[in-house]
Structure 1
């Protein structure tokens, strides 16, 4: 059954009626939602789209009326809200160069032209309503990044730099792999940038197919599987050298009121302020006489680069053989206020130690292992702030056949369950020296 069946009759807001009878926030949200479905605008930060919604003008035309005339100055970006318009070249244009076609809802013109005047005529075919973004607001179409309109990535958290993507075309982005930077978070970022900013991701499912090359960029191709009133679905293919290395399915939902309950209870653990972070733990170990001097000298010589996620573990090292792990975490540095960015950051943080918990009961001196993620699923239950403390509760109920299975829950400081997660990973003993290396490229 379609996920929107069974609801009380609910039609999308009549934007034309709202424009005729504006009612404050309702009008603004409707305009923002419409603009968020225009492909040209979807890669913009949500703050830019909201500012564009405040700046656009409404223009109406009767059938046969000229929307733009050849030679007239380009006065802004025109976006078709309702009706149709025909683009026609001047009569003296050669036949093979005549750009005759029809513009429909969500189509646009007047942006990206190299001329300050219109090169063609645009004529209303039917009653036509357009949004017009005047030229003085053109800077809103050229943000510094996909997450921030005003600031470059260097002014923000390293995580924001990791999750930065370069839009190549509509629904196509380029990202770069970095050590310790799982790429499905970039795929989620790409999917988020093709959905209107009033819809937030509520679930994602990633399947990893073949190992990627961290020295090459990744191309993210987003497929628009569905756009509904309340939900939108995106499929993302991540490609290197023309091969799909993993796929991601993400579902987005517009915020709505509904039934609520929470059976999950946050474990009773010390607050993060009473716990040590990784840097402090390292410093203590370097001076702890219980650790061999050889280990301490070796650790002191290694360059220590802090992760972009700050972690504080709730249990001491005596618990490292349990198939479970609890720790607080938050993003380091300043994050832009885009809610989609915060969900991408938390998705990034979810996999840093996740599958390793399934190896905890099997750890022993001298054991060397390697692991690869096979699939990863996340459900977002409530809004989340990645730069506030979150408690990550991880359990591994099973490992078998070279696969480890883990489940996770994330709670905010108020004890609210904000996310649930599952993952299965390939976990194997590393090959000993002298064994022939026959590691296949495919993961499965």
Structure 2
């Protein structure tokens, strides 16, 4: 594994301080708050560690309540809502400085056979033909708020090989286009040993799912996002459904769109496919999207 991926896995390896209470740290943030995908992934780790290993996460529903402080630990308290014959339900509250900053409900299921169908995978360029983030971001460094932003974005995403299938919002600011975007992603390294578990792969996907989902909102209005200073945004809530097994260290296509934005909020929807076309997850997120005055 790359050092960056190893560091991310360390971030997800929560300290257990009581039977159902865990503590997590944060990585340095580009903005003065904890990255939402990190909190969601850590909360899912906490929930998953109280569930039998033969049950995997099939859905999560979360609310971002307050900005997280990257300089302070986050305490995750797990409430064992239900342990049924097939399903297990957990609720997790993340607390900092005595206040809840995040709330997660997650459901886990023991594998069973059932009816099968899915939407077809949309057309997308082969990920091996696309430029890496290291090649893409520096080309637009002059458009960011500060010359160091591109470098800090790369550092924040170093654990993940994320490739835009089309020009990203910060490259096309001022040019509205269809509210749809695609990225390919996988971890920068192959998971093995004790970290190579379904829970780890699911938590890594959860981490990445918050990186680009609201991009399609920006595209519809020709906005480049917070990195270029013409939009202020933050995640409000986040929901995911995990349909089929997958590996986060193999290419996954994140197909994203925005059906609406209004009232200072925007909605993003995403579908995640394996390279061979299996639909493995669905994502919906609402976020604050405001134009600075």
Q: Say yes or no: TM over 0.5.
A: yes
- 1:270-313 per-position Cα deviation (integer Å, ceiling 9, x unaligned): 11111111112245x38xxxx9xx669x7489745441211111
Q: Within 2, Cα distance between the matches of 1:175 and 1:416?
A: 33
Deviation at 1:162, TM superposition (A): 2.3
Higher relative contact order structure (alpha carbons within 8 Å, sequence separation ≥ 6): 2
- 1:46-79 per-position Cα deviation (integer Å, ceiling 9, x unaligned): xxxxxxxxxxxxxxxxxxxxxxxxxxxxxxxxxx
1:246–1:282 Cα change, 3 Å: closer
SS in structure 2 of the partner of residue 157 of structure 1: helix
SS in structure 2 of the partner of residue 329 of structure 1: strand
1:223–1:266 Cα change, 3 Å: same
Paired position in structure 2 for 1:279: 134
Contact persistence 1:157–1:332 (CA under 8 A): no
SS in structure 2 of the partner of residue 182 of structure 1: helix
Paired position in structure 1 for 2:108: 252
Q: Within 2, Cα distance between the matches of 1:155 and 1:302?
A: 17
1:156–1:211 Cα change, 3 Å: closer
1:301–1:397 Cα change, 3 Å: closer
Q: 1:400 aligns with which of 262, 267, 277?
A: 262
Q: 2:274 aligns with which of 412, 422, 428?
A: 412
Q: Within 2, Cα distance between the matches of 1:364 and 1:223?
A: 40
Q: 1:193 aligns with which of 42, 49, 58?
A: 49
Whether 2:79 is the aligned partner of 1:223: answer yes
Contact persistence 1:154–1:161 (CA under 8 A): no
1:377–1:295 Cα change, 3 Å: closer
Question: Which range is displaced more, 322-331 or 401-410?
Answer: 322-331
Contact persistence 1:157–1:334 (CA under 8 A): no
Paired position in structure 2 for 1:356: 215
SS in structure 2 of the partner of residue 328 of structure 1: strand
1:301–1:190 Cα change, 3 Å: closer
SS in structure 2 of the partner of residue 409 of structure 1: strand
Paired position in structure 2 for 1:267: 122
Contact persistence 2:41–2:204 (CA under 8 A): yes
1:166–1:325 Cα change, 3 Å: same
Whether 2:181 is the aligned partner of 1:325: answer yes
Contact persistence 1:355–1:404 (CA under 8 A): yes
Contact persistence 1:156–1:334 (CA under 8 A): no
Contact persistence 1:359–1:404 (CA under 8 A): no
1:364–1:256 Cα change, 3 Å: closer
Structure 2 unmatched runs, 5+: 30-34
- 1:393-417 per-position Cα deviation (integer Å, ceiling 9, x unaligned): 0000100111100100000011010
Please, what TM-score do these two structures have when normalized by structure 2?
Answer: 0.85
Larger radius of gyration: 1
Q: Within 2, Cα distance between the matches of 1:244 and 1:372?
A: 17
Whether 2:192 is the aligned partner of 1:343: answer no
Deviation at 1:367, TM superposition (A): 5.6
1:280–1:175 Cα change, 3 Å: same
1:219–1:295 Cα change, 3 Å: closer
